[in-house]
Structure 1
Amino acid sequence: MGADRVGGVRRPVRAVVYAACGVVLLAGCASMPDSGDLRDVESTPRQDSQLRVFAMPPPEDAQPREIVQGFLEALTSDDPQYATARQYLTGTASEHWRPEQSTTVLASDINVNHTPGHDTSRDSSDDYAFTLTGDKVALVDRQQSYTPMRGTYSQPVHLTRDKKSGQWRIDVLPPGIVMGQSDFQRNYMSVNKYYFASNTWANSATSATAVADPVFVRRRVDAMTQVVRSLLSGPTDWLEPAVSSSFPAGTELRRGVTALAPDDQNRLTVPLNEKASGVGREKCREMATQLLFTLQNLTPTVDTITLQRAGGGTLCSLEENQTEAVATRGSVKGSDYLYFVDDKKRLVRIDVKGTSAEPVPGALGEGVQKLQAAAVSWDERTAAGVADDGKSLFVGSLLAGGALDTPVLQSQGKVEGDRLTVPSWDARGDLWVADRDPARPRLVVLEQGRGQPLDVRVPGLKGRVDAVRVAADGVRIALVVRAENDSKSLLIGRIERDEKAGDRPVVSVRELRSAAPELENVTAMSWAGDSRLVVAGREHEGVQTMRYVQVDGSTPEGPPPAALTGVQSIAAAEDDQSPLVAYSSEDGIVRLWSGAQWQQVNKGGLAPVYPG
């Protein structure tokens, strides 16, 4: 993508160079030309990871508009501390400007408009004002958390002319940073940092459950050190109530440490301050696991973490193959089987690489109770099935000879579309499902898939839940919500449990946020990684499309899935080794391996699911 224009006028120049080997900030090596001048450019290709962009300082006797455009251009450079951008500011403005406060992302151009009431003649006035405008797309806050935004951006910029030098400089400017979307995509990258679920979500008592917390960091400004500092600072506000960090409060990099880089053995040594000096071995291993999970999301070249004390010496070391004893995460949970309902309304399974389906062991595979959809628990020992009319929810063992008990939940909805949704299992073995009955729409959870259903509180919910998928970490939940105007949006909520509220816990889904703001009619969705989902839906007045989205509403890098018509349901595994599977009204069940085209699996089947 090309860089955004500023106000439709050719932007001030910036130098683009290829750094030589050995520069810490650059991942890779390219040679510096030994003849010719640096060339001015107006745009920089996002896909060239070797490209470094450096801003140019303000030209002598630059006019006010040139100063503003040069400043905006400098914000998109790879200057670590924005030193060049500060040269466009007065001393006082530079002292008070906090670029780390926020980054506002605009759809395209930043329009620079002269503010009426100020003389346009440089010789007759010592002050000048502009207004920066554009269409907002998102805001990245101080915690580096991404939030989709809508509306008009409008911020004043004021310049004054220095009485001694006669040079124009900015003395009033917007908070933080502002840039166009293509510059943002070139400059920033999304990285998952990892914390641990506060409650015991996993069945295993020997390991914690890791939860991804996506943040945006500057792509070519020592991303590794940025990510480590962000991890140490703690989870973002949205996730914080549901997770914890094993790093003691106040833990930071040791004073004087400015950059981190792995050695030639793929070991990263992280020197910490005195706040971490007293941690025990097990706590240290948890800290190292958080770092390994986080940094491997950034780069696969780190496979060992060594944590150092403030005064020197090693706290602990942990290798990649040792993390499984400390914590589990969804992206490593795989399954050998894909499950779906066949043309006889039975629950069947198929090897993810095969084509021949077989009924699952137990009553749900016998076909006595006809089904329209099902969900399989993470340990693949239990399944839940929705009856063919959508009224009843059954739970049965996936062991041969297992009997089917009476329904665990029933809906009173008058038509099929107003009854039960496809259920979803969380990591601790609880079963989630929504009842779409207009007379009593509700989201419920059944502890261990049985007993009296718990009504889940969803503060701020506007509409009814049409689809439910719980993340592998058990902390986040994806909901398709139908509004009064029949539009259907994808929302992500945080699951909280109050175990001290009485005989039974109070379960809530809080702080719903949009994960696919551009889609107004979501028809299918599934988790497809620790912080990614795959979604089928339509934009306003558009045709059905399939795409990947992040839980924070941003768009992940990489191509979308190949086009497929008539998508009614999607199944994606949490790991990246299994194929994407969908049910199409035209082709039945189809699957998509990475780099391939859709392949028909079963013409008569429907409702495909992986465990979860």
Structure 2
Amino acid sequence: MGADRAGGARRTYGRAVTYAACGAVLLTGCASMPDHGDLRDVESTPRQDTQVRVFAMPPREDAEPPEIMQGFLEALTSDEPQYETARQYLTENAAQKWRPELSTTVLANGPDTATDLSGNSDPEADDYSFTLTGTRVALVDAQQSYAPADGTYSRQVHLVKEKKSGQWRIDGLPQGVVIGESDFQRNYMSVNKYYFASNAADAEAGAASQPAAVADPVFVRRRVEPMTQVVRSLLNGPTSWLGPVARSSFPTGTALRKGAVLTPDEQNRLTVPLNGKAARVGPAKCNEMATQLLFTLQNLTPAVDEVELRAGDRKLCDLTEDRAPAVASVGSAQQADYLYFLDGEHRLVRIPAESGTTSPETVPGALGEGVTPLRSAAVARDEHTGAGVGLDGRALYVGSLVSGGSLGEPVLLSEGKAEADRLTAPSWDTRGDLWVADRDPANPRLLLLRDGKGEPLQVRTPGLDGRIKSLRVAADGVRIALVVEKDDQQSLLVGRIEWERVGEESTVSIRELRSATPGLTEVTAMSWAGDSRLVVVGREEDGVQQMRYVQVDGSTPEGPAPDALTGVKDIAASEGDRLPLVAYSSEDGIVWMPSGTAWQKVVKEGAGPVYPG
């Protein structure tokens, strides 16, 4: 969901009418309409109560071109499902061709408008053109997928005076919607829709019957039947970026029954009427479909705890929220038993994740004995196995978290000459495979050890520009977050993990790396903090260190950022929201922040906090 940003003041030529629950209320008065001159600096409105609906005003009789242009832009910020009023500003032909659903371009302060002096902008000649300009912030595509954008936006809008009516109307305009950033935050919200991981590695390993759910964030208009919008988007399949590693259990062509509007009943049960494409699914497949719906809808609202799927007059299946975890696993539902970190003697120690105690105990096994001092560590998601990098960064060890287990020889060695040019902290994926990067300048590599052992598999990283400083694999097993260094800048990139079988060999690649923190020039620490969210420590250019939440698509989720903390070197979060956020501060040692509280000291001597993963 979008961050709460304040927008600039906006001229109120034909401002929209807003209706509150207690009746119709005109929030912004209708200023007198200009009949000549240019419009400039058409900024976004300051954010308003998101529960208030905004409806646009139709064009005034005999309005001149600047007023038509302004009224149209105002109408794009309304809550009308099909932009009915905005279409009134267009000629009949333009209204039929205009497709607002193709894209939403977000500009920093809304579109500026100026008369296009290069054309025949002459009201006396029944011909007028404007140029819309602004600084791009983001683009939401036809799949409702968000992507950060930059650079200058410039598009022409053409108006004519219709011969039959004598009224000015727009007859040429770009497809999609253009809107200011604060209006976008008011009108749109981010929602995770859920699919299932479809990785070749799972099939090769004979993965368990329970699939892993993968979050696919999209933006929907928050007051235009959002539940119906999200379900339609879910049925359309995963976005292009996630599609190669995700599958849907809904048969191709499945859609909502025509005219369906989804609303849960008083028992929080939602009936979803589907078309005939879903009529022949079996019980197991239907339960997977219902699980996708439940995970998706519960990310949108707590008002749904049961779904029933129907095709025509026939009930296909129903599913309650307590049965969904038996169908598929979702990262945010997984619960760690312990928080782990390195104590002052470089041993792996742990404290119960939920007990509130701050007295650490060494982990069972060789990693907790201190015979081999560690500088970083990771614990497998089943909490039965751990991995640690030696104090000088050269060797990677794997050991059982069972008393009496020996550490043995390193499973991996780096040839980097300096400590900073050796191994990163490792990370375990959901299948029990171990990931680590070797920063050796002579041979920088991203490596994978199947089950934490054997010959390392070199991971292909097409498009990677720089050296990996740190990495974390998501709970879904199909996405990885990388902090990448280049030219004294450190960026957070999220990539898609793709497995391929070539003859007898398996290959794995990280594809389509994209920035999750376009505003930061230095990222010093990060951790997954949800199904599509990360917590990041970094700074903007010439700025101070800050901690914030970010979405995998580069957007900023709604809600407050974590409290400020100085000197943060490492950070750890669980994918769910029930366990404390944890950090290592050079000033305070290991600290954590249980829900609803401020930062609290755990131990002064310690570093490298991690939850399993």
Residue 295 in 1 paired to residue 284 in 2?
A: no
Residue 521 in 1 paired to residue 522 in 2?
A: yes
Residue 170 in 1 paired to residue 170 in 2?
A: yes
Matches within 5 A, 1:170-569: 170-199=170-199, 201=202, 205-257=208-260, 259-310=261-312, 312-352=313-353, 353-483=356-486, 485-498=487-500, 500-569=501-570
Q: Hey, what's the Cα distance between the residues in 2 that align with 1:335 and 1:232?
A: 32
Instruction: Assess if the C-alpha contact under 8 Å between 2:106 and 2:139 holds in 1.
Output: yes
* Alpha-carbon shift at residue 174 of structure 1 (Å): 1.5
TM-score w.r.t. structure 2 length? 0.94
Q: 1:203 to 1:568 in 2, by over 3 A?
A: farther
Instruction: Assess if the C-alpha contact under 8 Å between 1:2 and 1:43 holds in 2.
Output: no
SS of residue in 2 equivalent to 1:165? coil
Q: Hey, what's the Cα distance between the residues in 1 that align with 2:591 and 2:126?
A: 68
Instruction: Assess if the C-alpha contact under 8 Å between 2:145 and 2:218 holds in 1.
Output: yes
SS of residue in 2 equivalent to 1:507? strand
Q: Tell me which residue corresponds to 1:69.
A: 70
Q: 1:281 to 1:418 in 2, by over 3 A?
A: same
Q: Hey, what's the Cα distance between the residues in 2 that align with 1:3 and 1:393?
A: 48
- Tell me which amino acid in the other structure corresponds to 2:475: A
Q: 1:62 to 1:262 in 2, by over 3 A?
A: same
Matches within 5 A, 1:61-100: 61-100=62-101
Q: Hey, what's the Cα distance between the residues in 2 that align with 1:121 and 1:290?
A: 55
Q: Hey, what's the Cα distance between the residues in 2 that align with 1:254 and 1:600?
A: 55
Q: Hey, what's the Cα distance between the residues in 2 that align with 1:563 and 1:37?
A: 40
* Alpha-carbon shift at residue 162 of structure 1 (Å): 1.1
- Tell me which amino acid in the other structure corresponds to 2:462: P
- Tell me which amino acid in the other structure corresponds to 1:403: S
Q: Hey, what's the Cα distance between the residues in 1 that align with 2:131 and 2:67?
A: 14
Q: Hey, what's the Cα distance between the residues in 1 that align with 2:591 and 2:509?
A: 35
Instruction: Assess if the C-alpha contact under 8 Å between 1:206 and 1:325 holds in 2.
Output: no
SS of residue in 2 equivalent to 1:321? coil
- Tell me which amino acid in the other structure corresponds to 1:107: A
Q: 1:187 to 1:212 in 2, by over 3 A?
A: same
Q: Hey, what's the Cα distance between the residues in 2 that align with 1:377 and 1:545?
A: 29
Q: Tell me which residue corresponds to 1:23.
A: none
Q: Tell me which residue corresponds to 1:156.
A: 156
Residue 31 in 1 paired to residue 22 in 2?
A: yes
Q: Hey, what's the Cα distance between the residues in 2 that align with 1:320 and 1:2?
A: 35
Q: Hey, what's the Cα distance between the residues in 2 that align with 1:38 and 1:407?
A: 68
* Alpha-carbon shift at residue 275 of structure 1 (Å): 0.6
Instruction: Assess if the C-alpha contact under 8 Å between 1:523 and 1:568 holds in 2.
Output: yes
Q: Tell me which residue corresponds to 1:576.
A: 577
Residue by residue over 1:203-256, the C-alpha shift from the partner in whole angstroms, topping out at 9 and shown as x without a partner, is: 972311000000000000000000000000000000000011000000001123
Q: Hey, what's the Cα distance between the residues in 1 that align with 2:95 and 2:208?
A: 52
Q: 1:460 to 1:284 in 2, by over 3 A?
A: same
Instruction: Assess if the C-alpha contact under 8 Å between 1:3 and 1:183 holds in 2.
Output: no
SS of residue in 2 equivalent to 1:70? helix
- Tell me which amino acid in the other structure corresponds to 1:208: P
Count of equivalent residues: 593
- Tell me which amino acid in the other structure corresponds to 1:349: R
Q: Hey, what's the Cα distance between the residues in 2 that align with 1:301 and 1:163?
A: 52
Instruction: Assess if the C-alpha contact under 8 Å between 1:4 and 1:109 holds in 2.
Output: no
SS of residue in 2 equivalent to 1:547? strand
C-alpha RMSD of matched pairs (Å): 1.7
Q: Tell me which residue corresponds to 1:126.
A: 126
- Listed as ranges, the gaps of 5+ residues in structure 1 are 19-29
Q: Hey, what's the Cα distance between the residues in 2 that align with 1:44 and 1:116?
A: 28
- Listed as ranges, the gaps of 5+ residues in structure 2 are 31-42
Identity of aligned residues (%): 64
SS of residue in 2 equivalent to 1:465? strand
Q: 1:37 to 1:152 in 2, by over 3 A?
A: closer
Residue by residue over 1:454-497, the C-alpha shift from the partner in whole angstroms, topping out at 9 and shown as x without a partner, is: 000011111111111000000000001111x1211000000011
TM-score w.r.t. structure 1 length? 0.94
Q: Tell me which residue corresponds to 1:22.
A: none
